[in-house]
Chains A and B, each alone.
Chain A
Amino acid sequence: MRPGAIHTHSLRKSYQGMRAVCGISLNVEAGEMFGFLGPNGAGKSTMISMLSTLLRPSGGRALVAGIDVRDDPKEVRRRIGLVFQEPTVDTDLTVRENLAFHATLYGLGKHDARRRVAEAADLVGLTGRGDTLVRTLSDSMRRLLEIARGLLHEPGVLFLDEPTVGLDPQARAEIWEHLRELRHRRAITVFLTTHHLEEAEYCDHIAMVDRGRVVADDSPAALKRLIGTDRIHLRTGDDQAAAATLSDYLGLASAWGPDGLYVQVTDAATAIPWVCTVLRVPVHSIEVRRPSLDEVFLRYTGRTLDGASRPEVSL
């Protein structure tokens, strides 16, 4: 097993008879950006707590960076970085003091600590803010500080529990920009939980979890392929003629709606040039709808991620 990888086998956790995680088996390769996607209460935080040795599993096995979380929790803790869902920076200390505090807890020498504090601050764009009191930082900067802190001791695995929860879209985009930058610069496994679909799209590998069970486990693209095809939404000057042309020339069946034509194709990017070439009627607009992870989740659980049970599915 390569350092940095995570492997679990039917991992379980119950609280007083309530089953929060019911037998999860996962294989996260070293260096992957792994997304654990599910609605609130699906067992995501419980899973992270078990993998980071803060919770003892009720059953099953979990290896993190090659070490069993039950056999040697201390060694696991040394090899992981953890960013909690709730803020855990000390707001009465400065950025540098927070980082230095963490460096000492992880046994870094003074010289080493100073270098790594500077590196970590640079990685998340906090250079030059070393002496700022954390109380005066914006929410997204505090989050970035926590990520920097989690990286300080150069862990093989970084756990991020809902890294963008409670942030506005602009701050979310900023966090993600830094996470992508991190992956460029360091060979690190990132295990993150999220209930945002667009965040799951950034991952190499996702597992969808619902009520303590994994319902789907693959790359985002592969999961979407299961759902099938892209849909092209066309608005033309004469929908009837357009439908006939598409059927005659390209063999494409189209559905007729009040607001235009819907055509199912395997790959919209290659189909659109053909569609435009054969059509002899004016085309007002072309819109592509790719299968979304929400639809994948819906297919496996009968619910969408935000909890609606029977959403209206167009087409």
Chain B
Amino acid sequence: MTVDARPSVWSRLLRRLWWETRAAHVVWQRELLHYARNPARLIMTLAQPVVYLLVLGTGLGAMLPGGGGYPTYLFPGVLLMTVQAPAIAIGASVAVDREAGFLREMLVAPVHRVSLLAGRCAGAATVATCQGVLVLGLAGLAHIPYAPELMLALIAEMALIAFAMTAFVALLAVVISPTPTFHAALGCVLTPLVFLSGALFPIAGLPVWLTALMVANPLTYVIDLLRRTIAPYLARPEPAAVHSPVLMELAVTAGVGLLSVLLAARRLSRPR
């Protein structure tokens, strides 16, 4: 009996897996279609990091003693902001979809919630990476060489960061309700995190409590990861703010993403 049952269990499992993969794939596709159909949204989310690079990079750089290196310093932060915008928009759309009903239509389908969330985060990662590639085109303005290995490494890292951020924002969207409270919470958490990540200025000589916040801030490691990927290609590398192994930083980012997907899925599948 058990011998007979085995192949059927396996084939059932494979079919199930194929079904879930296709479900995640259409959710991914839907996110891309949304972006493709709203070019205005694309341009607006792209405008912010470019403005930061051009205005803050050159303007603030001119004020600093020896500020010629400031655009270079700012570049990882600009990349972070580039992927952050679509990650937040798509992660937060879980909250909008939940109230408008499209999420309910997905939830009533016989598909695992992990597939739905993973598809959405993958969609955000794809959109964010595409925008990131465009911003990478401006690397020359920040005196960063267009080395192919560097560009590929940065693209891969941006995809990972976008996935993790979308998952994290989606988790917040699922846990914090109603929607206005969620949006308020998002604004009140994210801005300080960006300031405390070392994206805009080196964080040194801060009071102890702010240093503690900086060390606990996941964005600190994301920025450090990008900065250290770029450093070997620079003529005059910046001293890094934190020194944690790059592999650990990658693992933490991926871990935060996966954990967020699982927790959000768990929360969604629990009927009220």
Interface residues of A (CB under 8 A from B): 52-56, 73-75, 77-78, 82, 84, 86-90, 92-93, 97, 100-102, 104-107, 149
Contacts and interface: CB of A to CB of B under 8 A. Distances in A.
Nearest to A57: B271
Contacts of A53: 108, 271
Given A93-B30, A93-B33, A97-B33, A102 B109 contact: yes
A52 B104 CA distance: 11
A101 B109 CA distance: 11
B33 A105 contact: no
The B interface, classified by DSSP as helix, strand, loop or mixed, is: helix
B190 interface: no
A208 to B, nearest CB: 27
A93 to B, nearest CB: 6
Interface residues of B, number: 23
B30 A101 contact: yes
Contacts of A97: 30, 33
Contacts of A73: 271
Contacts of A55: 271-272
Contact of B23 (A84, A87, A89, A105): A105
Contacts of B102: 88-90
Nearest to B116: A105
Nearest to A70: B271
Contacts of B272: 55-56
A25 to B, nearest CB: 21
Interface of B: 19, 22-23, 25-26, 30, 33-34, 37-38, 100-102, 104-111, 271-272
Given A84-B105, A88-B100, A93-B33, A106 B22 contact: no
Contacts of B107: 54
Nearest to B23: A105
Nearest to A105: B109
A101 B104 CA distance: 14
A74 B110 CA distance: 5
The 6 closest A-B pairs by CB, nearest first: A88-B101, A105-B109, A56-B271, A88-B105, A78-B110, A104-B26
Nearest to A107: B19
B200 to A, nearest CB: 34
A150 to B, nearest CB: 9
Given A55-B272, A86-B100, A104-B22, A92 B37 contact: yes
A101 B272 CA distance: 26
